[in-house]
Amino acid sequence: MSIVLKKHVNTYYATCPKGLEEVLEQELKNLGATSTKMSSRGVQFKISKENIIDIILYSRIASRLQIILFDFDVKKEKDIYIGLKSINWPRFFNLNQTFKFNFTQGVSETLKKKSQFKNTLYLAMLGKDALCDRFNTELGKRPYIDTKSPDVSITCHLSPKDVKEGKKERLTMMVDLLGSTLGHRGYRLRNQEAPVRENLAAGLIDLAKWDPENENFIDLTCGSGTFLFEAIIKKLKISPRFTQIPDVLDGNLKWNFQKYKFLDSISKSNQFNNKLRAAMRHYKEKIATNSEPIIHGNDFSRKTLDQTQTGFQRIGWHHLVSFSSKNAYKFDQFIDDKNLLFSNPPFGQRLDAIDEKIATLYHEMGENFKQNYKNSRFSVMSSDKQLLGKIRLRAEHKDPFSHGPLDCLLYTYHQM
């Protein structure tokens, strides 16, 4: 069988944690994406080469950004090799660039069919062979593989088709644009992992439908402040890439696509540098001109709050947040305002029974909200339905999402 490759132009795929697809799609559309198509854990979209930089600079919710180059049908393993070898790789990449292959599998549209190819590590070897063989044919030499930080990170996604007879799957080949996750903002010290991925926190703020123009954002159990940072980024409409942009402008950091000859027109255009400079100007202006706190964080641990405040100080954002160290269910500030009260409370350690202290926290936060915050909304995230059930209120919306390996829920309550 001959394999027919479909070439894509200006087509991209943004990945996200499960449950955030809709808010990611909306964000991409707001940033200029068209022809969007949601799938599990991601959104495919189109945008011109001049404007993809807007997505790179301003997406708060995407985990990774990939450019889709080709797709083709496969029936058996050999088709994968034949299809990938028929790509003229040296036209896209250089011999001195290192590579990595990664295979992922989806399910068919009706969710009935799973991929017939089980061993993704083996498929990655097959992909590598196809690419190296094509380089050898064209140039008599092959590039090196680097599984840790390659110049070119290739993902081949297999989606089974709902055909009645036989097995048919669509292989979509894409290349990671940045070579790193967008879900890592870079404002934390190296040894301080965010307890919630920053892009997940950004997506949950959107799932809670926070309206920054008309509602305060108050995190009742703010811990290290991931949601506070993300709320500031949303409210001030600043680029979440604010730690990387200066390094890219100075040439100390190269996003992967800046090394690709076929994407020269993005990175070598004046627009690219202009947009980066404009993003940094806007960032500095917004941080400097807001002299009053715009977000509030609360946590009953003084020690945690001290560390969180130090984190804000380190990047010069300390004036944007006010803090309190109350018990979350005795919180009594901003009572007459319109607020989104947010909480990522402890989930509890014991799997067999619920921790009574934590159950009380959930219950009492709900009571405090019901009795005192008549103009507000309240959003709580948890992996534990039993604990959420301790809040004796009817949730206006319940949004499921994944947080690493955990299946979680975000419940949002309204009083207005």
Q: Considering only 11-19, 24-32, 283-291, 295-303, which stretch makes contact with ligand SAM by CB under 6 A?
A: 295-303
Residue 195 binds ligand SAM (CB under 6 A): yes
391 binds ligand SAM (CB under 6 A): no
> Of the listed pieces 123-131, 155-163, 216-224, 253-261, which binds ligand SAM according to CB under 6 A?
216-224
Residue type, 68: I
User: What's the count of helices (H) and strands (E) in the chain, helices before strands?
Assistant: 12, 15
Give 172 or 343: the residue with its C-beta nearer to ligand SAM: 343
Binding mask 147-166 for ligand SAM (x = CB under 6 A): --------------------
User: Cβ(217)–Cβ(210) under 8 Å?
Assistant: yes
The residue within the footprint of ligand SAM, chosen from 226, 258, 339, 412 (CB under 6 A), is 226
Contact pick of 11, 15, 63, 344 for ligand SAM (by CB under 6 A): 344
**45 vs 329, beta carbon nearer ligand SAM:** 329
Rule CB under 6 A: say whether 196 interacts with ligand SAM.
yes
In angstroms, the Cα distances linking 169 to 69, 73, 74, 118, 157 are: 17, 6, 5, 13, 10
185 φ, ψ (degrees, to nearest 5): -80, -30
* Interaction between residue 221 and ligand SAM (CB under 6 A): yes
Q: Which is nearer to ligand SAM, 300 or 334 (CB)?
A: 300
Q: Which is nearer to ligand SAM, 221 or 239 (CB)?
A: 221
Q: Provide the 10 A C-beta neighbour count for residue 58.
A: 20
Give residue number: closest CB to ligand SAM: 223
Residue 24, amino acid? L
Report the half-sphere exposure of 110 (CA within 13 A, side-chain side). Answer: 6
Site size for ligand SAM, by CB under 6 A? 19
Q: For the packed helices 77-85 and 120-139, what is the interaxial angle rounded to 10 degrees?
A: 30
Compute the least distance from the CB of residue 377 to ligand SAM, in Å. Answer: 18
- 227 scored as a contact of ligand SAM (CB under 6 A): yes
Torsion sign, CA atoms 390, 395, 401, 403: negative
Looking at residue 352, its amino acid is D
Stretch that binds ligand SAM, among 78-86, 137-145, 157-165, 297-305 (CB under 6 A): 297-305
Does 203 contact ligand SAM by CB under 6 A?
no
Query: Which residues in 216-259 belong to E strands, given as ranges?
Result: 216-219
Piece in contact with ligand SAM (CB under 6 A), picked from 140-148, 221-229, 232-240, 264-272: 221-229
| 68 part of the interface to ligand SAM, by CB under 6 A | no
- Stretch of residues binding ligand SAM (CB under 6 A), selected from 68-76, 97-105, 293-301, 314-322: 293-301
CB of 318 to ligand SAM, least distance (A): 17
The DSSP H or E segment spanning 265 is helix 264-267
Backbone angles phi, psi at 83, to 5 degrees: -60, -45
Both tokens of residue 199?
């892009």
- The token pair at 6 is 């479909």
Stretch that binds ligand SAM, among 141-149, 203-211, 222-230, 259-267 (CB under 6 A): 222-230
The C-alpha atoms of residue 285 and residue 321 are separated, in whole angstroms, by: 17
The answer for 186, left when phi > 0, alpha when psi is -120 to 50, beta otherwise, is: left
Q: How far is the CB of 220 from ligand SAM (least distance, A)?
A: 6
Are 131 and 119 in contact, with CB atoms under 8 Å apart? no
Question: 85 vs 197, which CB is nearer to ligand SAM?
Answer: 197
Whichever of 301 and 333 has its CB closer to ligand SAM, that residue is: 301
Nearest distance in Å: CB 329, ligand SAM: 6
Q: Which residues pair with 206 in a beta bridge?
A: none
How many Å apart are CA 344 and CA 408, to the nearest integer?
11
Give how far Cα 164 sits from Cα of 3, 72, 112, 161, 227, Å.
21, 19, 11, 9, 47
Site for ligand SAM contains 202 (CB under 6 A): no
Structural Rg of the chain based on CA atoms: 24
Q: Does 327 bind ligand SAM (CB under 6 A)?
A: yes
CA count, 13 A, side-chain hemisphere, 286: 16
300 binds ligand SAM (CB under 6 A): yes
Residue 361 near ligand SAM by CB under 6 A: yes
Chain residues in the site for ligand SAM (CB under 6 A): 195-196, 221-227, 299-301, 304, 327-328, 344-346, 361
